[in-house]
A and B are shown apart, each in its own frame.
Chain A
């Protein structure tokens, strides 16, 4: 076992993990943060996207020991109390989801995108979300949600 200490959603968390423990299972099973989903488990679908030191990563393809000392934000860390984060708000208003399974990943990927590029074009949005798969929406409303979030200054 290896000891890891990291900040998750602003809180300091420390635990012993096996070196093979994946960040997503550390978050879900050891910390109980089940908002981050496991979809394909092969770094394709992006359902497990979280922010590591402010950047989107697929937490099924990061070892917990690699995140040691880092700052992780999951979907649970976005809203301020009852007030949704502007990206969450935009996904709700633009109907950027149907079943919702991919949504935490899309929202985190969008937060990361808008930090790097606050006013992306539609084409840039579509390319920037290539790492996230949605089987329900056909993506149009997701793109609209990202545009709305960008306009709202998310």
Chain B
């Protein structure tokens, strides 16, 4: 499969990328390409020009920022898996990165690319939502920080403006966190994924593939806060969700899976 023709601009810096995004209407950012290139090949995506940010090495880092960890948007999944700062401060994110795709995908794919692509079945966005991560974007008017809870606006849609570049992901340090997913086969997308983490004393849970975006399991969280045990709280996982029905499973099956995996996640937390 061959993508439709497009122009190509290799960005030398974030500012250069922002500038290039403004020159053509259907410009699209290319990071690791492991969501975008398959979409180009299927011609689901037909940008006029790709602005390749993949060489901006200063956006590849994991940094200890006191009570938070800052991650450069172009940090590859394989780097997250092996990073000692992340292992010490937010191991759930490193362990989740180890579940993304397969080794070849993890060698190329980036956390920022995964987040900006905003697939509702994606693992890392779900964990970031459970963690209440902050997403830092830079555009023509400067930098702003977007809370994960308002970042994912629809399937493959985010709060990023057309000329904004996601530059950094900030996560709180957490000691307890877990992400579990159900897949039909190795390397499949999650039929359902459940992220749970204890952030500032409260247990926060987010779900993958249970609606148009990653979703917080608010009913479950409220039940836990009101003293419910894991099994009882997990029974409320699917409240307020809109699970899809597709080849991986029907909506009812997904709602069932969410309860089972939420209970397991809470028990492992």
Task: Please give the residue numbers on chain A whose beta carbons come within 8 Å of chain B beta carbons, in ascending order.
Answer: 2, 18-20, 22, 25, 41-44, 46, 49, 52, 55-58, 60-63, 65-66, 109, 112-113, 128, 130-132
The answer to the question of B5 belonging to the interface, with a C-beta cut-off of 8 Å to chain A, is yes
A-B pairs, top 6 by smallest CB distance, nearest first, are A131-B102, A19-B8, A130-B186, A55-B107, A20-B3, A130-B102
Q: How far is the CB of A61 from chain B (nearest CB, A)?
A: 5
Closest to B8 in A: A19
| Chain B residues near A (Cβ < 8 Å) | 1-8, 10, 30, 33-34, 37-38, 40-41, 50, 52, 54, 78, 101-105, 107-108, 186-187
Q: Is the interface of B mostly helix, strand, loop or mixed?
A: mixed
Instruction: Output the nearest chain B residue to A126 by Cβ-Cβ distance.
Output: B186
21 contacts between A and B (CB under 8 A): A18-B5, A19-B7, A20-B3, A22-B37, A25-B2, A41-B41, A42-B1, A43-B101, A44-B187, A46-B102, A46-B104, A57-B108, A61-B34, A61-B37, A61-B38, A62-B108, A63-B33, A65-B10, A112-B107, A131-B104, A131-B105
A-B residue pair count with CB separations less than 8 angstroms: 80
With A61-B105, A112-B103, A130-B102 given, name 12 new contacts (CB 8 A): A18-B5, A19-B7, A19-B50, A22-B41, A41-B1, A43-B101, A46-B104, A57-B107, A60-B41, A62-B37, A66-B30, A131-B187
- A14→B163 CA distance, assembly (Å): 33
Q: Is the CB of B34 within 8 A of A56?
A: no
Contact A20 to B2, CB < 8 A, known contacts A42-B38, A43-B38, A49-B104: yes
Task: Kindly report which residue of chain A lies nearest to residue B2, judged by CB atoms.
Answer: A20
Q: Interface of chain A, helix or strand or loop or mixed?
A: mixed
> Which residue in A2, A19, A42 is a CB contact (below 8 Å) of B41?
A42
Measured CB to CB, the nearest residue on chain B to A61 is B37
A43 CA to B187 CA, complexed, in Å = 10
CB nearest to A38 among chain B residues: B1
Which of chain B's residues has its CB closest to A112's CB? Answer: B103
Task: Give chain B residues whose Cβ lies under 8 Å from the Cβ of A22.
Answer: 2, 37, 41
Which residues of B sit under 8 angstroms from A20, Cβ to Cβ?
Answer: 2-6, 40
With a cutoff of 8 Å between Cβ atoms, the chain B residues found around residue A55 in the complex are: 78, 107
Measured between beta carbons, the chain A residues less than 8 angstroms from B186 are 130
